[in-house]
Chains A and B, each alone.
Chain A
Amino acid sequence: MIRRIYLTSKLNDAVIDYFSLSRFQLHHGKARCSKSTSCCCFFSVMEERSSIVKTPLNNVLTQRRSKSYRRSMRSCVEATNLGYTSGHLTALRIPRSRRTPKSRDITKQVDPDQVALLVTKEWELSYVTPLYQFRHTQLKSYSKHLSAFIVSEKQQGLAIEVGQELGFKVNFSVVLGLAETDEDAETVFIQILSKHAFAAKDDAQKVVWSGWLTCVNGDLEYLRSLPSEFVSLPLLCTRGPESLTVLVKSWFEKTFDCCFGPLGINSTNLQWLAALWIGCHPTINIQYLKLVWTLPTLPPMDVKYTIHPQDAWELWDSVRQDDTTDVSIEEVTRFIKGLQSHFFRHFRIELSAGSLMQVSTALGSSHHSGKIKIASPTYITTILQLLTECALLKMPI
């Protein structure tokens, strides 16, 4: 190997090549050198430094606190390659395997009426940075403040609909029981009620906007590292007119000094959700598994791929090697690759050249742009745990 490089490079480079190869040998121990040089001259062109340094023959082991700390530090360094900033000392990991979800009757822990508020509706997701001095005990005063804020903001707008604004009423409530660990804050549910523009005086107010902030099984190291005045509820789900969403977010930003941002569900997480729903098939009939891909052709082509649940279940079962409690990302990828290769065999279209946009079953549907619908409350905690993790990873802090 050495001889080949020596001959093919130009004459003025030949000497440098030999030195660089010897550096290679001392650092990495991979290139075999017929003559071993004991001293090494650094001709480091980029750093403009020439010094005689005796490089160590082995990698120097650094002190580490614990294996998991190091792994998590490395994963956050891998993720940024920008060195350490104060935010990235909160190490976040991208998990490679998850526990199989067990179907659980959530109504034992949570009030069924409140569960009914959360399911069968399509929510739009955002991430929230930690809230400063948010108290679960002061929800009534928050309701009053927010309704006053909405009314005052609406009156500044150009098109004033008198009947509607004055009837704004905001409800903050707590949904107890969704939090999994001690570090999770309790879910807060917000409803904005108002009367329809042409409603009569006695008509009840209807819900025009609803949203909820939640944290389910958030990363424990991160939650413990937050200062005590901060409450972390990283996932916000909203439903309703965009104007009201913007108002609610700006009120939160002013009151609790937090930031909001859109949360998309990338293709890996969509695949996790598909695997989760398929895994539920023996207990609950999912009726269909529909996957939607977008291919970057001109014009862009959407492929809707609907699979019979029994076939999908058989494929998933064959991919799942043993009945362990963990599902790994390799099994999920293999499942999706099986579906893609089947499609390719029939239609000669390679789906992996495009991106996965939507996954839906009878149990729920999730879209790449950050919309999720949970149709059945059985696996709600697993889905919320996945989404909380997405929100924590997406957050800039």
Chain B
Amino acid sequence: MCFLVQLVKNEEQFQQKLADTVLQEKNVNVRLARSLPLPMENDESRPRIDLVVFIIHLTSELSFQSAETSLKYLDPGYFQGKVCFLVTNARNVSVPPERLVSVRKLAASLHCPLLCTEDQTTEGVTTAAHRLLAILKVAAGLVPMATGLYSDIDQQKFE
């Protein structure tokens, strides 16, 4: 199983903590990246990628923009259940509400799940890792009777 994490610079602590927590589960490989496309050198040795997670920190505009530009480099086949958005600081007072609305619209238009997480405490990171593992298991095909195509069941319809 493999799982790619995606981020903007200066916010690596959360990415690192999340990766460490996820790695405690057996048979999971985590690769971290700052932006797509991935470098060509390792293309042969890279295992199959089951889930691509975009981490967006809502306090910075740059995070959202770099996630948007990286989306263009992703093969369209991934958008059927192998992409997930992870958002931090959604409850923060300083975050303008329009940013969360635009992230939700983006996730809804791509039919991908959106998770809100809390990155400052260890419980928050552990919860986020557990939820990601649940989605990862579905995306990798290990849960019978469920596929990643069901991931947009609870998303609101944005017309």
Contacts and interface: CB of A to CB of B under 8 A. Distances in A.
Contacts of A352: 60-62, 65
Contacts of B147: 9, 13, 16-17, 20
B60 A297 contact: no
A226 interface: no
Residue of A1, A12, A297, A355 with highest tally of chain B CB at under 10 A: A355
B150 interface: yes
Interface stretch (B7-15, B16-24, B124-132): B7-15
B101 interface: yes
Given A13-B147, A267-B94, 19 more contacts: A10-B141, A12-B144, A13-B141, A17-B147, A45-B150, A78-B158, A79-B101, A266-B95, A296-B11, A296-B59, A296-B60, A352-B60, A352-B61, A353-B8, A353-B9, A353-B10, A353-B62, A353-B63, A355-B94
Contacts of A355: 59-60, 94
Interface of A: 1, 4-5, 9-10, 12-13, 16-17, 20-21, 24, 43-46, 74, 77-79, 81, 94, 264, 266-269, 295-297, 329, 350, 352-355, 368, 393
A214 B120 CA distance: 37
A297 B145 contact: no
A13 B144 contact: yes
B96 interface: yes
B44 interface: no
B57 to A, nearest CB: 9
B60 A354 contact: yes
A296 B156 contact: no
Contacts, number: 76
B74 interface: no
The 8 A-B pairs of least Cβ separation, nearest first, read: A268-B96, A352-B61, A353-B62, A352-B62, A266-B96, A353-B60, A20-B149, A45-B146
Interface in B89-144: 93-98, 101, 104, 141, 144
Contact of B156 (A1, A9, A78, A329): A78
A118 B8 CA distance: 43
B40 interface: no
A43 B145 contact: yes
Given A81-B156, A267-B96, A368-B94, A16 B145 contact: yes
Contacts of B101: 78-79
A283 to B, nearest CB: 29
Contacts of B156: 77-78, 81
B51 to A, nearest CB: 14
B93 to A, nearest CB: 5
Given A9-B147, A79-B97, A353-B8, A46 B153 contact: yes
B2 to A, nearest CB: 14
Nearest to B111: A28
A94 B98 contact: yes
23 contacts: A5-B80, A9-B141, A12-B144, A17-B147, A17-B149, A43-B145, A45-B145, A46-B150, A46-B153, A78-B101, A79-B101, A81-B156, A268-B98, A296-B10, A296-B11, A350-B62, A352-B60, A353-B9, A353-B62, A354-B60, A355-B59, A355-B94, A393-B97
